[in-house]
Every structure is written in C-alpha cells, then in structure tokens.
Chains A and B, each alone.
Chain A
Amino acid sequence: MPTSQLTRNLRDGELVLRDGSEPPHTLTVLLDEGDLTWTQRQRTIEIKDRGSIAAGHLRRGDDESVTLAFTAKWSQLIGKSAHAADPLQLYEMLMFAPAANITSTSSAGEQDTLTLEFSVIDPAGIASEKITFAKVYRETLTMAEGADFNTIAFTGRAFQTAPTVTRLPAVG
C-alpha cells in the first residue's frame, strides 16, 4: 500500500488534452501556468418542516457538472491549421479548428468535447495520480496580452459529477 506524505505543487503537474480520434490526438500543455482549478459541486435540497431544520430533512439535488479552468502562456495560436506538418497548438485544439482535424469525444450532433488528463507526479515516485476529466466542453476562452507573455485562459465544464482519479504505476 504505497503512500506518500510529500506535498505536491505545480511543478509536479502535467496537463494533457485528448480528442476522440482513434488513436487520439494528444497535446501536452507545456506552457500552462500551473493554475488548474476545478470544483466538484453537490446540490442538496433542504426540506424544512414549517421552517424548522430540526424536524426537516435533506434530499439529493440535481447532479452538477465539474467546473474547471486553467491558463497557458501563448506561443502561437495555430499550427496544424496553417500547415499540416506543424505541431498542433492549444488554441486550435480547444476551438476544434476544422483544419486541425480534432474529433469530439461526444457523439455526432452533441456539443464538442475533449478529455483532459491531469497527472500529478509523486516526488517519491510511488503514489502518482492521474485525474481524468471526461466530456470537457468550453465555456469561455480568453486571450490576453501581457508585459511578459500573452495568455490563453480556458474555463469550461466536465460533464460528470467528479473526475476519475487513478493511481499511476510506480516508477522504478
């Protein structure tokens, strides 16, 4: 039962996007800021008995999808869209640019989605984890200039109540 009490930080993370192609197109986000956040929400309906909590009870509310956000430095917006031999770029993958041939992980006719995998490597090498967000769709994509670097900020949702967390095989 490998366990590790070493805390993790942004240096230990790695963000990978996958599409629905077979085999999938994958893009490792090398320039992300290390600011990935996600929120798992649970809805609950409070049933009070004539205003009283003591005599009331709770019911499960509707499922709530996971919200997530991350920011990446911007090197170039398009690559594969401009030239088929160029490497795929983050912007064109998130935007499902037609010339980039990105395929949704959802069925035809549904909203375009991707799989997002966030790996957190255990510094001790024994309890690394992968957090997989399925059916991730875009809500906003904000491009911003900056004095040191431009950024692409993604916000979206994963259409599931919680991401899937798995342990990665120990290294060595």
Chain B
Amino acid sequence: MVATQHLHSTLQQHWSESASSGIPTLYPGTRQETSQLPEWFELWVDALSDQPSRRIAPDRLDGTITVHCFTQQRHHPARVYELADLARQALDHQRLRILDRSATPPLEVGHVDIYEPQIRDLSRTHQNAGSLLLRHIVLTWSFVAQKTTSSPSAT
C-alpha cells in the first residue's frame, strides 16, 4: 500500500522546497502564534480514500490537499492572491515521486499526481467576524497516489 506517512512527507518536502519562499507554513500538528504574522500558509492532506477495486489491483489512493493562504496587511490587501498563485505554481499538475525517507538512500515507493485546484475566497467570513485585515483563500486539489509497479501481470 501507499503509506500515508510517505505521502505526507513527500508533499511537505515538495511544498517546503517550492512554495514557501520564506513564508511560514503551518502543518498539521504544528502550533505557531499567528497574530503578529503578516502572512502564512497552512497545508493539509485532509481526505484519503481507497476506491473499490480488485484485491489484486495495484494500490491507489485518492485524496485532497488543502492549502490555506492568510494575509493581514493593511496596505497590500491583494497580497493574498499572490500567495494563492505561489501555491498553484507549486502544486498544479505536479507529478511527485513518493519516497521512503527512512531508507538509505531514500527509496521510491510510488508517485502522486496532483490535478487542478478549486479556489475559494473566505475573506468575507473573517470580516463579518470582526477581523477586517485578515484575507483568507483556500485552495483544494484532488490527487491520486499510486504504488510503483509494472501494470499488467503477464508471462
């Protein structure tokens, strides 16, 4: 099976190398005081599902990645869209090798295909809540992770 541990570490590694540009990212389980941050990302793999398939079929895991982009900058309210574009550049249509980093050297165990995002602007919600500065965009990508295997079994 495609281990969720390897999938998470692959996505987080790719994100840290390609999207953060010095902008802090909060991952699940991390805690950071954000009230003084001008901008930050949050990255989650928030759904994983196996589809009905033959017992002998190669492993395939469907899921979604969600990236939250937050800014609170009075003089640059459109900055949140720049963050959203950074996130899209990092993840749109990416094919990443899933690596088992516990092996030496890291072992390729599969790959993940990330598809097109859905983008939602939730800033208005925060304005209603009294936070006039906070801008918030949520991007959600669907992806498919597959174990590395040669497909049909033949002799």
Contact = CB atoms under 8 A, between A and B. Distances in A.
Does A pair with B?
yes
Interface of A: 9-14, 25-32, 34, 75-76, 79-80, 87-90, 93, 121, 147-148
18 contacts: A10-B52, A11-B54, A11-B55, A12-B55, A14-B56, A25-B154, A27-B152, A27-B153, A28-B154, A29-B152, A31-B58, A76-B151, A80-B154, A87-B153, A87-B154, A89-B151, A93-B154, A148-B144
Contacts of A88: 152, 154
B53 interface: yes
Given A11-B52, A13-B54, 18 more contacts: A10-B54, A11-B55, A12-B55, A26-B154, A28-B56, A28-B152, A30-B57, A30-B58, A30-B152, A31-B58, A75-B152, A79-B152, A87-B152, A89-B151, A89-B152, A89-B154, A90-B152, A148-B144
A75 B154 CA distance: 14
Nearest to B150: A87
A90 B150 CA distance: 13
B50 to A, nearest CB: 11
Contacts of A10: 52-54
Contacts of B32: none
B155 interface: yes
Interface in B38-83: 52-58
Nearest to B149: A30
Which 8 pairs across A and B sit closest by C-beta, in order of nearness? Answer: A88-B154, A75-B151, A28-B153, A27-B154, A87-B154, A26-B155, A11-B55, A27-B152
B144 to A, nearest CB: 7
A32 B57 CA distance: 8
B155 A31 contact: no
Contacts of B153: 27-28, 30, 87
Contacts of B151: 30-31, 75-76, 87, 89
Contacts of A30: 54, 56-58, 151-153
